């Protein structure tokens, strides 16, 4: 499918005249319409809730947008819990799906009334020692081991992944938790990341639904919800077919009716913890061409670098690039589009066929709305960019300012020699 930016060149120049490049831009309309499609796809399940994975796009403006569309949040750290709390998420609107969890984070999650999803059987002891009790609602993360047909580069096969409990352990965990007062149980699993097939959720659902029936029968623990977690992907490449969320919802419904309903478990709520699917296509990284270099290859140097978008450097991930204003020009130039890090993997594209690029051209790097800004870092003393939200009426708003050197030096507030640049 042809990939088109959600914004025009004119609008981008207007935004860039106010907020210098590079910046991440988000599309309110796209986010809202997609969230509504997800709700519609699971409308057959009265208890359905999407817990947006905060780590994908940790920005209060984005979280509030999603909250208005009925989403909760999925957190895995102290600051993600704090941001959820500050944005008005409370109680069971927050899922805490963490691993190797510092006890203080269990405490904060419990104080906020969040649903705690335990990654390991040994965390039962840790949680009880930390809180002095076991919450009545509790969830356990499952790892079936072995290989999973839909795995791809981002995450290992379940058997090699650090997450979750074995089959034996989850039965044991349910028994222990029940004996300690837990009353409403959940099951969670995340087996493959960025899947581009409508079969992932239904396949995962079958595994979890069959497990739920056995768990409830053998332990007597009441399974209240099943969390299909994240992993529904997006089509980063133009030749990929995007997921059809209505087909995915329908696929899960079929398995539900085959497995849960006949077992008398037709009241189980379905939860999701999507990040990428909720946001990736509705954000882009906007950057300007500032250098060209002709050596053994043709290079275009841009004012963004891997600290603004790590996925190409980290996973060799493809991100489509549109040279704004040249959408219809022939792609007859082969470029490496590179950032300024002293790190040779700082390349947004390698051997990419693009229209001839002139200095000053605006480039839109697609699908950066999830795991884009949020994976940013400060290597080479580079500063994080701003984030801008494009509203449905065409107005726009800064939803995070760009870092300044003062921010970078802020953690030297005890060190006089840095005062010159810190104040
Ligand atoms: C990262 C993560 C998600 C979201 O994953 P996506 O691939 O962005 O959908 C959901 N749940 C947990 C526990 C995660 O770690």
Does the pTM of the predicted model rise above 0.85?
Answer: yes
Q: pLDDT of 18-55, one tens digit each?
A: 999 999 999 999 999 999 999 999 999 999 999 999 99
Residue 234 Cα, ligand 1 centroid: separation in angstroms?
Answer: 13
Q: Is 372 in the pocket of ligand 1 (CB under 6 A)?
A: no
Which of these CATH numbers, 3.30.465.10, 2.40.37.10, 3.30.750.24, 3.40.190.10, describes 281-412? Answer: 2.40.37.10
Question: From the CA of 369, how far away is ligand 1's center (Å)?
Answer: 14
Ligand 1 site, residue 338, Cβ cutoff 6 A:
no
Contacts of 14 (CB under 8 A, 6+ apart): none
Atom of ligand 1 nearest to the CA of 141: 13
- Give φ, ψ of 382 to 5 degrees: -75, 150
Q: Which residue has the least CA distance to atom 7 on ligand 1?
A: 231
In the chain, what are the domain boundaries?
Answer: 26-278, 281-412
> In the predicted model, what is the mean pLDDT of the chain?
96
Bridge-partner residues for 141, per DSSP? 188
Q: What are the CB-based long-range contacts (under 8 Å, 24+) for 206-211?
A: 206/255, 206/259, 207/144, 208/142, 209/255, 209/256, 209/259, 209/260, 210/259, 211/142, 211/167, 211/170, 211/187
Residue pair 327/364 in contact by the 8 Å Cβ criterion: no
The pLDDT tens digits for 81-138 are 999 999 999 999 999 999 999 999 999 999 999 999 999 999 999 999 999 999 999 9
Q: Is 98 in the pocket of ligand 1 (CB under 6 A)?
A: no
Q: Does domain 26-278 have CATH number 3.30.70.3270?
A: no
Would the CB of 97 count as within 6 Å of ligand 1? Answer: yes
């Amino acid at each position: 499918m042809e990939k088109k930016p959600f914004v025009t060149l004119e609008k981008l120049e207007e935004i860039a005249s106010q907020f210098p490049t590079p910046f991440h831009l988000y599309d309110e309309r796209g986010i809202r319409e997609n969230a509504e499609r997800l709700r519609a796809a699971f409308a057959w399940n009265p208890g359905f809730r999407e817990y947006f994975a905060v780590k994908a796009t940790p920005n209060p403006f984005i979280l509030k947008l999603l909250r208005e569309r009925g989403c909760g949040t999925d957190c895995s750290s102290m600051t993600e819990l704090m941001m959820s709390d500050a944005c008005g998420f409370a109680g069971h609107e927050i899922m805490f799906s963490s691993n190797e969890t510092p006890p203080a984070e269990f405490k904060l999650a419990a104080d906020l009334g969040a649903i705690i999803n335990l990654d390991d059987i040994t965390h039962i002891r840790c949680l009880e020692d930390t809180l002095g009790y076991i919450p009545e609602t509790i969830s356990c993360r499952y790892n079936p081991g072995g290989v999973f047909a839909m795995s791809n580069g981002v995450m290992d096969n379940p058997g090699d992944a650090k997450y979750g409990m074995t089959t034996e352990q989850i039965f044991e965990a349910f028994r222990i938790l029940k004996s300690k007062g837990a009353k409403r149980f959940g099951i969670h699993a995340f087996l493959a990341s960025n899947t581009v097939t409508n079969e992932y959720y239904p396949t995962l659902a079958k595994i979890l639904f069959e497990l739920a029936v056995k768990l409830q029968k053998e332990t007597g623990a009441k399974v209240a919800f099943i969390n299909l977690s994240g992993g529904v992907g997006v089509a980063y490449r133009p030749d990929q077919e995007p997921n059809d969320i209505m087909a995915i919802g329908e696929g899960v419904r079929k398995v539900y009716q085959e497995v849960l309903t006949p077992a008398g478990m037709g009241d189980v709520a379905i939860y999701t913890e999507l990040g990428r699917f909720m946001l990736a296509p509705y954000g882009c990284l906007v950057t300007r061409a500032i250098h060209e270099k002709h050596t053994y290859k043709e290079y275009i140097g841009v004012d963004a670098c891997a600290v603004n978008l790590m996925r190409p450097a980290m996973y060799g991930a493809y991100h489509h690039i549109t040279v704004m204003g040249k959408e219809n020009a022939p792609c007859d130039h082969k470029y490496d589009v590179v950032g300024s890090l002293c790190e040779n993997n700082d390349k947004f594209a390698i051997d990419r066929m693009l229209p001839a690029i002139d200095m000053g051209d605006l480039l839109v790097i697609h699908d950066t709305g999830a795991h884009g800004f949020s994976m940013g870092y400060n290597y080479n003393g580079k500063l994080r960019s701003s984030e801008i939200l494009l509203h449905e009426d065409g107005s726009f708003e800064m939803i995070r300012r760009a870092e300044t050197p003062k921010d970078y030096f802020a953690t030297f507030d005890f060190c006089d020699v840095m005062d010159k640049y810190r104040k």
